[in-house]
Amino acid sequence: MALDDWLLDELVAGRGSAVFRLYTWSVPTLSLGFHQRRLEAHWGLLEEQGRIALVRRPSGGRAVLHGGCLTYALLWPDAPGPRTLAYRLASLWLQEGLASLGHPLRFGVGTTNQQSPSCFATSTAADLVEADGAKRVGSAQLWRQGHLLQHGSLQLDPTPELWKAVFGMEPPPLPALPIGAEALVNHLRRAAEVGLGGKPFDEQPLSRGELAAIEPRRERFQLRAAASAPSLSPLN
């Protein structure tokens, strides 16, 4: 999260360029949207028990449980508006990539469920759903001076027990995709290369100086269970 936030600031400062990242999570992690202020007390207990890690995202939206999923981040300089158009254009590569696997996705038509903290409790125009309405991808945005950071979580094999412990409900009833996780990453990378520029991506590892610049931001996006009570410390 700190890396994506820094990349967006690099765009604002005129030092950056378009970036696409596709990644997984080393441990089950609950990420909260930037404006999400309601923190469920049992999330802190789950974090203290070591069942989940807690972070906040620089992008908006509601809580996403990362585990059995792929996450993407798209940094788009001078992205077109309005936001609904940007969501659609930024998601075309993903729609085309999954359609070629026999899973055509459409955008949701619902509104945000104010009663649930879970991003996957409803499907809005920012999200992609299967033909039967099951939500496959949840996305969220952050705009700074006309530049866009879009995050998305592609659910593959969420763990029902953990999902229920976090949200009190079952995960979306998603059909399995026809290829494994490693092959899927390669497939979606090729789809993104075609859909987000039409040429192979250049991989650019971060330099030591860049890593040093990102490090101070890490604390900004970390959440910890309060030591004296089974609740979370408030977001800044």
Percent above pLDDT 90 for the chain: 81
pTM for the model stands at: 0.90
Could you tell me the two tokens for 145? 């001076």
- Radius of gyration of the chain from its Cα atoms, rounded to whole angstroms: 17
Query: Is a pLDDT exceeding 60 seen at residue 235?
Result: no
- Contact (Cβ atoms closer than 8 angstroms) between residue 102 and residue 178: yes
Question: Per mean pLDDT, which range of 144-153, 170-179, 219-228 is the poorest?
Answer: 219-228
The values of phi and psi at residue 86, to 5°, are: -60, -40
For residue 82, whether the previous peptide bond is cis, meaning omega lies within 30 degrees of 0, is yes
pLDDT band at 64 (very low <50, low <70, confident <90, very high): very high
Could you tell me the two tokens for 61? 């939206």
What's the mean pLDDT in 1-6?
Answer: 96
Name all domains of the chain by residue range, CATH numbers in brackets.
Answer: 2-221 (3.30.930.10)
Distance CA 105, CA 74 (A): 19
DSSP letters, 38-66, are ---HHHHHHHHTTS-EEEE-SS-SSBEEE
Distance CA 16, CA 145 (A): 14
* pLDDT one-digit tens code per residue, 126-142: 899 999 999 999 999 99
What's the mean pLDDT in 14-20?
Answer: 95
Query: Is a pLDDT exceeding 50 seen at residue 233?
Result: no
What's the mean pLDDT in 3-23?
Answer: 96
Q: Which entry of 2, 119, 149, 154 is annotated as an active-site residue? A: 119
Q: Average model confidence (pLDDT) for the chain?
A: 91
- Contact (Cβ atoms closer than 8 angstroms) between residue 19 and residue 73: yes
* pLDDT one-digit tens code per residue, 198-215: 999 999 999 999 999 999
pLDDT of the residue at 113: 56
69 is catalytic: no
* pLDDT one-digit tens code per residue, 87-100: 999 999 999 999 99
